[in-house]
Amino acid sequence: ILDSRNNRRGCVLRSFHRNPKSINRMEKHEPCMSWYMGHGKKVPVIIVEDIPSAVRAVQYMNSVALLGVTLTDDGLTELVNTTEHVIWALDNDAFQKGQEYNSAHNLLFKTSNVELLNTDIKDMKEEQLCDLMLKLQS
């Protein structure tokens, strides 16, 4: 689990067996979200649920994994202090949560949009991911 400056703040223990499970273990008293900032601050941050999706997305734009669907006040403050442009792209079953975050916090950013995903980013084929990211950047 990384902060926006690529410093470690914790780790995720993840099982990929029959019933995938993950446990977040924070090492610092900081927001429980993980940043992947491979591009400049003017590039939007796509907000996803998990690290595998964030790692795939950072090939195209900055990303942050909420490590679930909960956004704390500290996490929101960190988002506002780190970026001006966000795209809420939570998994399909959490789309409504993304809409709620967008409605509640859109005035805190220059741009704030929500994207309905048919497939989790971590499960997309490369062509699907590329098409989505090009669409989101236009």
Contact call for residues 1 and 14 (beta carbons, < 8 A): no
Residues 6+ apart with CB under 8 A from 127: none
| 21 has a pLDDT exceeding 90 | no
- What is residue 110's predicted lDDT score, i.e. its pLDDT? 96
Residue 15 pLDDT > 90 = no
